[in-house]
Structure 1
Amino acid sequence: MLDNPLVRWLKALKGKPGRPTVLVKELGERDRRRILRHFLALDDSDRLLRFGSIIPDEQIAKYVAKLDFRRDIVFGVVNRVFQLVGVGHLAFAKAESGKPTTKERVAEFGVSVSKSARGQGVGSRLFDRAAIHCRNADVDTLYMQCLTSNQTMMHIAKKAGMAIKREYGEADAYLQLPPPSAGSVMAEALEEQWAAIDYSMKANARAAVKWLGPKK
């Protein structure tokens, strides 16, 4: 999957004919409210697929409030009107001491995509960004847990060549990652740079629309 990360990134940037380019940016504290709005907009079926159960708004709010951007990594995709349409959460396993493990490090990935952005490769691009980040952070294994009925996640797992174990309607998928390379580091740096530019342009355009909008 990641043998030629820079080439893969360039191909992903070009995208498929008829599809918009999907750029993935690392999110931070300033995006917490947007992340909350994204999750609250998920209907019951999407919440079930993302969290494994249909959790209420209050529980989603607590989940978003506890996001620690200094520890875990959250990636996002924004549309042309500066709304988050895809969110990927990368959580790193802890050793018993409470510190990140230094050997056989494992990261767990969860993803959600808004209905308006389905079929555009958003989920796959979020996964690819998470995988290359893990690789560059010397994480050995990327892990996903989902319901077997989650066809999108199962497709991403199979496409990535993940080892999948199914049991009682749930699936555990694992991807062993190679060590970082010059190409993988460059690919992630370019992705973040392009995504940051795209993010800023859309944010400024959104602010201009609000400022120039009709005054009441």
Structure 2
Amino acid sequence: MSSEPIEWFDVPSVLGRRAASILGLSKVPIVELDDTHRPLILAHLLALNEEDRRLRFSYALGDAAIAKYVNNLNFERDSVFGIFGRDEALLGVVHLGVLNPGEEAKGPRGAELGISLTADMRGHGLGTLLFQRALRRARNEGVEMLFIYTLLENEAMLRIAQKLGMRVSNADGQCEAHLKVQPASTGSVIREFVDEHLADIDHLFKSSLGQFKRWAEEF
């Protein structure tokens, strides 16, 4: 697959790719998901085949187990981000799960990343963009250590981890990648704020346009 960016939508995003790159923002709108998106997250994960489920969760979860996972997502504690395609389908999802949420926990505050992409969207840098979006949130939320736990054969995830400077260790077919997260700064907070709101505006615009096109086709 080509690593060149592709157009996901019928219309360009509210901020062109060149402008987004100059400003250091995501070139592909990444939307923060909430409780209302559970059905879309479930549909995205259920569409993964057995091997993709194994790579995402380290073992092939059945439909019931995936439904339980989605039902147990805690949007108040964790952060979940997604990339939307046409017709409101999620192309990719990243889950930033806090590992030691209690104030009484000792040691660095940690979080774990889990990323999934639909098969035809791989090889275009979306996994890296999702990772970077989650990393910005982790930094601004005071996370000190970021972890990825995956299988040794999950080469795509390991490439992302190594590309972004994570330290990788492995044993018995399992890999752990970790990254020491830099403290938040005024710049990191502003950057996330701008990226988040541009993504929301972009998603709202494209959703409205899609609804208008469907309405027009009926007449």
Q: Return the TM-score normalized by structure 2.
A: 0.84
What's the RMSD between the two structures over aligned residues? 2.1
Matching residue of 1:105: 109
Matching residue of 1:48: 54
Q: Which residues in structure 2 correspond to 1:7-86 (within 5 Å)?
A: 10-11=23-24, 13=26, 21-86=27-92
Q: How far apart are residue 9 of structure 1 and its match?
A: 7.7
Q: How far apart are residue 205 of structure 1 and its match?
A: 2.6
Spell out, residue by residue over 1:1-26, the C-alpha distance to the aligned partner (whole angstroms, 9 max, x if none): xxxxxx9783454xxxxxxx412111
Residue aligned with 2:86, SS: coil
Distance (Å, rounded) in 2 between the aligned partners of 1:23 and 1:178: 24
Amino acid across the alignment from 1:171: C
Distance (Å, rounded) in 1 between the aligned partners of 2:151 and 2:106: 30
Distance (Å, rounded) in 1 between the aligned partners of 2:73 and 2:124: 27
Residue aligned with 1:22, SS: coil
Matching residue of 1:172: 176
Instruction: For structure 1, list consecutive stretches of 5 or more residues without a partner in the other structure.
Output: 1-6, 14-20
- What fraction of aligned residue pairs are identical, expressed as a percent? 38
Matching residue of 2:150: 146
Is 1:82–1:202's contact at 8 Å kept on the other side of the alignment? no
Amino acid across the alignment from 2:177: A
Is 2:25–2:191's contact at 8 Å kept on the other side of the alignment? no
Distance 1:100 1:78, change over 3 A: farther
Matching residue of 1:207: 211
Distance (Å, rounded) in 1 between the aligned partners of 2:114 and 2:161: 12
Q: How far apart are residue 48 of structure 1 and its match?
A: 0.6
- Is the aligned partner of 1:155 residue 2:159? yes
Q: How far apart are residue 99 of structure 1 and its match?
A: 4.9
Distance (Å, rounded) in 2 between the aligned partners of 1:80 and 1:161: 33
Instruction: For structure 2, list consecutive stretches of 5 or more residues without a partner in the other structure.
Output: 1-19
Residue aligned with 1:149, SS: coil
- Is the aligned partner of 1:137 residue 2:141? yes
Moved over 6 A (4+): none
Distance 1:134 1:100, change over 3 A: farther
Is 2:25–2:195's contact at 8 Å kept on the other side of the alignment? no
Is 1:135–1:178's contact at 8 Å kept on the other side of the alignment? yes
Is 2:168–2:178's contact at 8 Å kept on the other side of the alignment? yes
Distance (Å, rounded) in 1 between the aligned partners of 2:212 and 2:58: 39
- Is the aligned partner of 1:89 residue 2:102? no
Equivalent pairs counted in the alignment come to 200
Q: How far apart are residue 77 of structure 1 and its match?
A: 0.5
Distance (Å, rounded) in 1 between the aligned partners of 2:191 and 2:107: 25
Is 1:93–1:100's contact at 8 Å kept on the other side of the alignment? no
Q: How far apart are residue 67 of structure 1 and its match?
A: 1.0
Q: How far apart are residue 62 of structure 1 and its match?
A: 1.0
Matching residue of 1:123: 127
Distance (Å, rounded) in 2 between the aligned partners of 1:113 and 1:100: 35
Is 1:106–1:140's contact at 8 Å kept on the other side of the alignment? yes
Amino acid across the alignment from 2:23: L
Amino acid across the alignment from 2:79: I
Q: Return the TM-score normalized by structure 1.
A: 0.85
Is 2:83–2:92's contact at 8 Å kept on the other side of the alignment? yes
